[in-house]
Amino acid sequence: MGKIDIGRVRSLSIKCLSEVAWHDTARMRQDVREAGGLQADQFEVKWTPGNAAGVSALIETIDGGGRSRKILMDAGWDVEYMDGVFRREKVDRMLSAGEIGFVYITHEHVDHFWGLPAVLKYRPDIKILIPTGFSQKSRQTLQSSGHQGKVVELGPEAPHVLFPGCASATFDIPILLKTHGEQSLYFHVEGRGMITVTGCCHAGVLGLLEYAEQEFEGFTEFHGVYGGLHISPFEEWGPAQDELLDKLKSYRIQRLACNHCTGVLTVQKMLEKGMHVVRGSGKNGSVSEFYVGNGDTIVF
Ligand SMILES: [Fe+2]
Ligand SMILES: [Fe+2]
């Protein structure tokens, strides 16, 4: 099969609603250890009450005709925390008014998916896009969340053009905590190039970029990356991470708006290597002003 031209959008804006998955990392790691480690089932971990937060972003595109489209990427974890986030950023009103086209769940991890009732409170019939590979327990979670709308499963066989200028790719891989499959978004912005938008990027950021090179026609450079890149989520560093950053640097990405599981140390190393990191404001309980955090917006 030949390469796909996914079309263009005129502009893309991404607001990080929250990139803080949990409040206390040591606590979270202990919860996982006590359940048997990273191969444990996320449904069987006894998560410490009050430690959960969540990951979510509001994406808005404008097409050539001036039409706006909004996507809610991921639903976070703690329902009360996410409700507060949605109200702070007026996402509650956008959902109620039907301004958000669909919810795009990148993967079934707790910190991206379990906050769904906070979304459905304002729009129970919203369309939800999930990657194939969801566990039976996650499907039950979806059913018992009060969702009344359509669920669309996107498979790994080929990229899916969601609308002109926006495509989704499913990576059919096993992930930590007995989960499976992750999907990421690609936007082609007129006059800028390709921008990838990802939840945790468990498949690896280089794979995400290579995928676009193989599958998509008509772009000459990667302009930006937004989201969690899972390079050093627990702030550990070694030669493998260094090598990965050097390879990433060779793509000459003009704006790296990475956060969440990318790791603060990773971003510091990116800055040392002269990579183009987009800094944040550090507000609303963000982990660091080193990167785009809670309530920060980046416009491509
Ligand atoms: Fe995550
Ligand atoms: Fe994840």
Ordered per-residue pLDDT tens for the chain, 300 residues: 689 999 999 999 999 999 999 999 999 999 999 999 999 999 999 999 999 999 999 999 999 999 999 999 999 999 999 999 999 999 999 999 999 999 999 999 999 999 999 999 999 999 999 999 999 999 999 999 999 999 999 999 999 999 999 999 999 999 999 999 999 999 999 999 999 999 999 999 999 999 999 999 988 889 999 999 999 999 999 999 999 999 999 999 999 999 999 999 999 999 999 999 999 999 999 999 999 999 999 999
Fold of 11-299: Metallo-beta-lactamase; Chain A (3.60.15)
The answer to pTM > 0.85 is yes
- Asked whether 261 and 235 are in contact (CB, 8 A), the reply is no
> Distance between CA 243 and CA 232 in Å, rounded?
13
* Residue ranges covered by each domain of the chain: 11-299
Least distant ligand from the CA of 175: 2
Per DSSP, the three-state class of 130 is strand
Whose CA is closest to 292, among 10, 13, 4? 13
Q: How far is the CA of 280 from the centre of ligand 1 (A)?
A: 19
- Å from CA of 117 to ligand 2 middle: 19
Ion ligand 1: residues, CB within 5 A, are: 111, 200
pLDDT of residue 183: 98
Per-residue pLDDT at 1: 65
- Burial environment of residue 152 by CB neighbours within 10 A (0 to 12, 13 to 18, 19 or more): middle
> 114 phi and psi, to 5 degrees?
-75, -10
pLDDT in tens, 231-262: 999 999 999 999 999 999 999 999 999 999 99
Q: Which ligand is nearest to the CA of 54?
A: 1
Instruction: Kindly give the distance from the C-alpha atom of residue 225 to the centroid of ligand 2, in angstroms, as a whole number.
Output: 17
Q: What is residue 140's predicted lDDT score, i.e. its pLDDT?
A: 96
CA of 229 to the centre of ligand 1 (A): 9
Cα 84 to ligand 1 centre (Å):
19
Q: b/e for 51-80, b at 16 or more Cβ within 10 A? A: bbbbbbbbbbbbbeeeeebbbbbbbbbbbe
- Predicted local distance difference test score (pLDDT) of residue 219: 81
Distance 12 CA to ligand 2 centre (A): 24
Give distance in angstroms: CA of 255 to centre of ligand 2. Answer: 22
CB contact set of 65 (below 8 Å; sequence gap of 6+)? none
